[in-house]
Chain A
Amino acid sequence: MALRMSKYWIVISALTLLSCEVNNPILEGTNVVVEGFLISGSRFEKVRLRRVVTPGEATQGLRDLNAPVSNALVSISDGMSTYVLVEDTSEIPNVRPKRTNHGTYRLSAQDSMVITSDRTYELVAVIPNLVVRASTKTPTPITVTALSTIVNHPAENVRLSMTKDSTIGGYLIVTAIDYSQPINFDYGGYNYLYSSSSEVVIPWKHFLTLGVAKIYVYAFDRNYDEYVRNRKLGNPTQSLYELEDVIENGVGIFASAALDSITVSVQ
């Protein structure tokens, strides 16, 4: 009887041990993060390359870790010319603890490139054993029209209408940070609003200060639209999310936008 019982316990114990075995996967290889935005009519500024950090590293503080990808061979092409970018290794001023711009790639001092509408820009970054590519087509210029330009507390809202184009994925509406009386689009502290619709109503309650307010509208490309939409994806029990790949052999965002602005009066 005892022998028979012990057999059962051996089986149960074996099953238990099998179930306990949890071999969860880990991050393998170098995962490059690309971050670059091109604004039509503006000069090209920079592209940032970092690497994905493991959860263990992240618990130490992702911001301080920074994890730049240095010494990469980075170039950007507008279809006619190709520019080789140079890593900025300077120290970031007025930041404590000290941080540097490692992983940030800019045009060399002798180069200059103004972003043009309706053009495809290709980014290539070469690091050991990996070539990362991304491209974006800059949207056509947009025009913003205010269907109502006077904001009356507490009655009238602002209505904006933007031109539409197949290259435009959505509109990012922001206030300029250099403006003396910025509007607040959200009580949560954000000062931008993204809409896939070409007509947007901004309620009067969002304008906290009387006077003149300036609204900037960025018409972003499909890459950015993917970025906005897909950040809703991810593990259902987690607030974090993963983006769809617009970067070949990497992650991140490489997007472009056309820009227009409008002034409204808040009364």
Chain B
Amino acid sequence: MILCLSLLPVASFGQSVLVHGSARDAETEEPLPFANVVFVRQGTGTTTNRLGYFFQRIQRSDTVHVRVSYVGYRTFDTLLIRSSGEMTIAANLRPASVTMEEVEVLGQSKFYDKGSYPSAIVFQSKELTALPSPGERDLLRSLQRYPGVSFQSEMSSNIYVRGGSPDQTLIQLDGITVYNPSHVFGFFSMFNVDAIKAAKIMKGGFPAEYGTRVGSVLDVLSAEGDRSRFGGKASFGLINGSVFLNGPLGRGSWMVSVRRSYMDILTNTLGIPLPLPDYFFHDLHGRVTQQLDDNNRLSATILNNLDDLDFVSEKNNDVIDEAVYSTWSNRLIGIEWGCSLSSSAFLRTIVSNSSYHGNLDATQNVLLVSFPGGSRLINYGNRLEDLSIKSELEWSPTTGHAAKLGAFFTKYNLAYSTNASFEGIKSEVLRDYSIGGVLLQDEVGLTDKVTVTPGLRITKYSKRDDPYFEPRIVAGIRLAPTLLAKIGSGVYQQWINGGQPAYFLTFSGIDFWFPVGQSIRPSKSTQISADLLWNVQPGVDFTVSAYNSKIENLVELRPNFEESQNLSGVFYSGRGRNFGLEAMLEVNRGVLRAMAGYTLSWANRWFDDIDDGREFPARHDKRHVLDVVLTYRASKTWEFSLAWTFSSGQAYTGILGYYELDQLTDSISASNTLHSVLSDKNAFRLPYYHRLDLGATKTFDYDSWKLRLRIDVYNAYSRRNALGATTGFSDDPYYRLLPIIPTITLEAEF
């Protein structure tokens, strides 16, 4: 199909001219990824790639009006005069200074932002910093405000995209896979927004250039650093502080960001008594970029994070009443080589290593000597490490074609520690295994209004004999100058699955990752996603999306998975269907930016081993979700923000009744044990959920520093939303989430 489409003569274009170039920050010379590039007269456009480059063949013309726009920057307009078959642009965009007069500059529509991909949302770091957030600006928490992206509780930064579980979203930083991005038990993610340049989430129907997950993709790009001068930012909040530094280096730049919590230092070093467990986290995120010559650039990314919790409830003599020791960490390192082979071909190669390590050791009534079979309650440990290389060629061979050809190979290594020995499944799981394959896709401009991107991934998984074929197709149809339709569909496979033991569902820290083996087949989804985008007026966009996803061989961790002797005992295996409608209104009027999103969705599951195969809703299934986000820049120094969310209650398995088994025999003394009769899986619903967050930022200058004082109020009207159901013996039938929490953060930029 791809070959056929590639051979299509795109006759309507006639002779063509190649326009290529890059978009950069005029002050820092930092590349601007995912910037809009619009050829005004032709009515077509593209976006810059992750390294800020673009190229496109357009209908031959003596003059070409090119408009490059990027959120937070003045729009770049230029008129190119053709002197040959190629035109080159160096679009240096100036940051928009914050003045009331710049309404129109900031009010550029995001209409072209989405490129040709359906259900994609692009974020620039400037947008992330404007949203209210308790204590810490966060990428994943910001994403949870958008239609189709949901969360399980405030205690988890895991994202549930269009009914998919967190492990079904491919999260990558500069092309490196991230397995668990949680900090502080999921209260926020490991992505420090200071060190993030942009992010793009593709909620469904994504093209062939992305793979290994059946749900969605979150593509995060690091900031590269200022190429002109040294600078930085320091931020101090209630629980953590961070420092971001960046500057020029040779023919390139560097960036480093460090964060650390300081509750443990306040408690242990300074002796300030805080009613908190002994806990800390830190992360280090850095990137170095060098322009080797005009056509070659080399960059390296490193990210290392760690969360460490030591909680001991009480120690009497040599007996601990309760104790929890837990750590989880990620380590990412990658080197990226970008090579401009010609003005119409760009090659990008990434070699990376990503590892995730999580460990939880929970004990109760424990002697301070080790013994087998004691009262250790939980001991889980999982280490996953990959070594990956992928190469991708972007190539525009002829007018109307923008092809991507790629090859990828990843080698995985896994290790576990649990109460149980896992002996039965070690032989099935604990071998090295690998995934490798090729991809090709071609964005074909059939007419000046219709673009079709067919694609195919062919993947070989080392534990299965046959290769897997994943055909994809994405189409964009410009119905009117301000009306655009997008459709994406395809087959998606997943060979590695993550999850959490049932006890952990209220927060996201420890994950368990398992490759599929002989007893569990790879997950496979068939998705279709359609968007209608309407640029109502400049700065006002309205988007409606519909989606449907069917998943086969869907897996979820069984509650007592650690006792299993084979992989089929680790997972429930079944099928799922996610479908729904999303609507989003975005207003960008410079000083006022607003977003209202509504999602109507279903996430249904069928597992043979649960309720005799009857349909049940996923725990994160929410029928209605409504979000409203407003940011208002009242003056040069004051900015206010508001975010309100409302959703149906989550599903849970409720208690229908109780009974007690209070003896074994008259000669055996055992404690009474209370049992419950549970409902069908997730047959109950928590009460509806709603929450209002408010934020205010005061900006002022101190010497050459720019200071920002941020005051955020989480849960402003202090609604005690339900986290889950209690056993029913207390006055309140629900465990409650946090009440109102004001936080204050000081940022200094130099």
Contacts and interface: CB of A to CB of B under 8 A. Distances in A.
B661 A15 contact: no
Nearest to B668: A174
Interface in A208-265: 216, 218, 229-243, 251-253
Given A189-B671, A203-B369, A54 B656 contact: yes
A45 B668 CA distance: 13
Contacts of B662: 35
A218 B665 CA distance: 11
Contact of B683 (A19, A24, A59, A243): A24
B464 interface: no
A176 B667 contact: yes
Interface string A49-70: 0111111001100110001000
A190 B671 contact: yes
A218 B688 contact: no
B702 interface: no
Contacts of B560: 229-230, 232-233
A240 B680 CA distance: 15
Interface residues of B, number: 68
Contacts of B683: 24-25
B267 interface: no
Contact of A192 (B369, B670, B723): B670
A53 B661 contact: no
Nearest to A46: B666
Interface in A180-212: 186-193, 195, 197, 200-201, 203, 205
B677 A237 contact: no
Nearest to B722: A237
Contacts of A54: 656-657
Interface in B88-131: none
Given A24-B683, A37-B664, A176-B667, A203 B367 contact: yes
Contact of B505 (A31, A216, A236, A243): A236
Nearest to A200: B373
Given A24-B683, A37-B664, A62-B660, A238 B727 contact: yes
A63 B506 CA distance: 31
Contacts of B655: 55, 235, 238, 240
B337 interface: no
B135 interface: no
A36 to B, nearest CB: 10
A195 B373 contact: yes
B266 to A, nearest CB: 31
Contact of A240 (B502, B658, B663, B679): B658
Contacts of A186: 365, 375
Given A45-B666, A62-B674, A177-B669, A27 B657 contact: yes
B705 interface: no
Nearest to B373: A195
A192 B667 CA distance: 12
A201 B503 contact: no
Contacts of B371: 157, 201, 203
Contacts of A177: 667-669
A26 interface: yes
A2 interface: no
A39 interface: yes
Contacts of B660: 50, 62-63
A176 B669 CA distance: 8
A10 interface: no
A22 interface: yes
A210 B624 CA distance: 66
A24 B624 contact: no
B684 A18 contact: no
A191 B506 CA distance: 33
B646 interface: yes
A19 to B, nearest CB: 4
Interface string A115-152: 00000000000000000000000000000000000000
Contacts of A203: 367, 369, 371, 374
Interface string B507-522: 0000000000000000
B656 A251 contact: no
Nearest to A174: B668
Nearest to B677: A52
B735 interface: yes
A26 B664 contact: no
Contacts of A35: 661-663
A180 to B, nearest CB: 15
B636 interface: no
Interface residues of A, number: 68
Contacts of A252: 659, 661
B16 interface: no
Contacts of B649: 19, 22
Interface string A159-193: 00000000000001010110000000011111111
A241 B365 contact: no
B653 interface: yes
A62 B658 contact: yes
A37 B654 contact: no
A4 B40 CA distance: 35
Given A19-B648, A242-B675, A242-B677, A191 B729 contact: no
B665 to A, nearest CB: 5
Contact of A238 (B374, B647, B725): B725
B605 to A, nearest CB: 16
A266 interface: no
B665 A45 contact: yes
B319 interface: yes
Considering residues A19, A24, A54, A193, which has the most beta carbons from chain B within 10 angstroms of its beta carbon?
Answer: A19
Considering residues B563, B653, B662, B675, which has the most beta carbons from chain A within 10 angstroms of its beta carbon?
Answer: B675
Given A62-B674, A205-B369, A243-B675, A18 B658 contact: no
Contacts of B671: 189-190
Interface string A4-24: 000000001001101110101
B598 A15 contact: yes
A33 interface: yes
A200 B372 CA distance: 8
A239 B727 contact: yes
B537 interface: no
Given A236-B724, A237-B735, A197 B559 contact: no
A24 B654 contact: yes
A16 B646 contact: yes
A236 B659 contact: no
A51 to B, nearest CB: 8
B317 to A, nearest CB: 10
B659 A237 contact: no
Contact of B659 (A20, A33, A39): A33
A239 B675 CA distance: 9
B648 A25 contact: no
A15 B647 CA distance: 10
Contact of B373 (A59, A172, A193): A193
Nearest to B660: A62
B369 A238 contact: no
Contact of A188 (B364, B505, B673, B676): B364
Given A37-B664, A238-B725, A191 B669 contact: yes
A149 B561 CA distance: 36
B676 A238 contact: yes
16 contacts: A15-B626, A18-B624, A20-B688, A22-B685, A35-B662, A55-B728, A58-B657, A58-B658, A174-B669, A193-B373, A205-B367, A235-B652, A238-B727, A240-B727, A242-B675, A242-B678
Given A35-B663, A233-B559, A242-B677, 9 more contacts: A18-B648, A22-B686, A62-B674, A177-B667, A186-B365, A201-B373, A216-B668, A237-B724, A240-B675
For the complex of A and B, list the 8 residue pairs with the smallest distance between their C-beta atoms, beginning with the closest: A237-B724, A52-B657, A236-B502, A240-B676, A27-B656, A19-B648, A55-B728, A33-B659
Interface of A: 12, 15-16, 18-20, 22, 24-27, 31, 33, 35, 37, 39, 42, 45, 50-55, 58-59, 62-63, 67, 157, 172, 174, 176-177, 186-193, 195, 197, 200-201, 203, 205, 216, 218, 229-243, 251-253
